[in-house]
Structure 1
Amino acid sequence: MKVITISREYGAGGHSIGKQVAEKLGIQFYDRDIVRETAKASGFDTELIENEEEDVTKTDSILKSICSASSTYFHDTQEVIHDVQQAIILRFAQEGPCVILGRCADEILRKNGIDSLNVFIHADEIHRAVRVSQLTGITDATEIQRLMTKRDSSRHTYYSRYTGKKWGDSRNYHLSLDSGILGYELCTRFIMEAAQAE
């Protein structure tokens, strides 16, 4: 069975789908584990590392305040975080079949010759807004839209920065699934069947 990587729009349910796939297949699911292991190995705070993908603007601001004396050190710090995270993703993938969420895992594995099934989960704004409201408790439509735009923009920037490719472009993935139309269960089944296919 292949390693499965899941990239996702904010609010499209990629985390829930990925976790469900892992549980049904009896394999590991890696999301925050990557953040914790990167923090442990690099010495940087977990919040800083998590924001590296989810809120690039916030991370850049924190790093610039820490590294104000040297722009070179600022960029070196970003590279250290990414390099450590890449090594951890590779270690998890080499330990056996698993599901890895986000963090350019698809391109990291591709560049290192590790066979993987790369999936992108998306949905229309209405489905995503409902999901975001359920997750965050935010009810204001403008605030929900702002949050979705911010998170997806950060993911786009992060992916482009470290892969040179366009986040969400179907050519970068083996499966591109609309969770709003298909539902989580059907998305889960499609991913499982594709991962188990020889």
Structure 2
Amino acid sequence: MKIITLSREYGAGGHSIGTEVAKRLGIEFYDKDIIAGVARESGIDESLIASKGEEISTAESIIRAITPISYDQKDLIFETERNVIIDIAKKGPCVILGRCADILLKEAGLDTLNVFLYADTASRMKRVGELIGSDNEALIQKTIKKRDHDRHSYYTYFTYQKWGDYKNYNLMLDTGALGYEKCIDIICEAAKN
């Protein structure tokens, strides 16, 4: 069985789907656990790691592209995340949510099933509204836009790849059209082959 990496648009159900895939396959699911591992390895406070999680500003991305790379705290956190993710994956099949795991494990030469989850705007707005406990459409749209922007910037900054580009994934699933159960079935079946 392969190591499964899940990348996702905000509100596409990545955490719910990943948790259920891991449960059905009898393997571990890693999301926030990675933050705890990074904190242990780096000595950096978990709350700081969580706040730096998938956030890179557009300005930081531009500066990195045109100037020599300076080794700051975000780079230290990312390098430590890389090591933690690779160590986790080397232990055997598991599901890893986000954190550029698709590219990191590919670069490490590990056998992965890389999945990207996306959904239509209406499905995502409904899900995010439930997550943040609001029916304010402007707030929900703003939240989705910010989280997707942060993920895109983070992924691009550290991998030099385009987040959501089909070339980086084995499967791209529309959770809004297919529903969570069908996506879970497809991922589980693909992971076994």
TM over 0.5: yes
Quick one: which of 187, 190, 197 aligns to 2:186? Answer: 190
1:67-146 alignment runs, 5 A limit: 75-146=71-142
Q: Residue 164 of structure 2 aligns with which residue?
A: 168
Q: Secondary structure at the match of 1:177?
A: strand
Letter in 2 for 1:184: Y
Give CA-to-partner distance per residue, 1:25-71, whole Å, 9 cap, x none. 000000000011101211222222223334435xx8xxxxxxxxxxx
Q: Residue 63 of structure 2 aligns with which residue?
A: none
| CA–CA distance in structure 1, aligned partners of residues 19 and 9 of structure 2 | 16
Q: Secondary structure at the match of 1:38?
A: helix
Gaps of 5+ in 1: 61-71
Deviation at 1:73?
11
- Structure 2 residue 39 is the aligned partner of structure 1 residue 43: no
| CA–CA distance in structure 1, aligned partners of residues 11 and 71 of structure 2 | 30
Q: Residue 20 of structure 2 aligns with which residue?
A: 20
Give the ranges of 4+ consecutive aligned residues of structure 1 lying more than 3 Å apart after TM superposition: 53-57, 72-75
| Total equivalences in the alignment | 184
| CA–CA distance in structure 2, aligned partners of residues 164 and 172 of structure 1 | 12
Would you say the 8 A contact 2:117–2:175 is kept in 1? Answer: yes
Would you say the 8 A contact 2:102–2:114 is kept in 1? Answer: yes
Give CA-to-partner distance per residue, 1:87-122, whole Å, 9 cap, x none. 000011000100000000000000010010000000
Q: Secondary structure at the match of 2:21?
A: helix
Aligned residues: percent identity?
Answer: 49
- After TM superposition, the structure 1 stretch with the greater mean CA deviation from structure 2, 77-86 or 117-126, is 77-86
| TM-score, with length taken from structure 1 | 0.89
| CA–CA distance in structure 2, aligned partners of residues 115 and 73 of structure 1 | 30
Q: Quickly say closer, same or farther: Cα 1:73–1:113, change in 2 above 3 A.
A: closer
| CA–CA distance in structure 1, aligned partners of residues 162 and 28 of structure 2 | 27
Q: Residue 152 of structure 2 aligns with which residue?
A: 156
| CA–CA distance in structure 2, aligned partners of residues 141 and 92 of structure 1 | 39
| CA–CA distance in structure 2, aligned partners of residues 182 and 53 of structure 1 | 29
| CA–CA distance in structure 2, aligned partners of residues 47 and 7 of structure 1 | 22
Deviation at 1:74?
7.1
Q: Secondary structure at the match of 1:56?
A: coil
Would you say the 8 A contact 1:53–1:155 is kept in 2? Answer: no
Gaps of 5+ in 2: 61-67
| TM-score, with length taken from structure 2 | 0.91
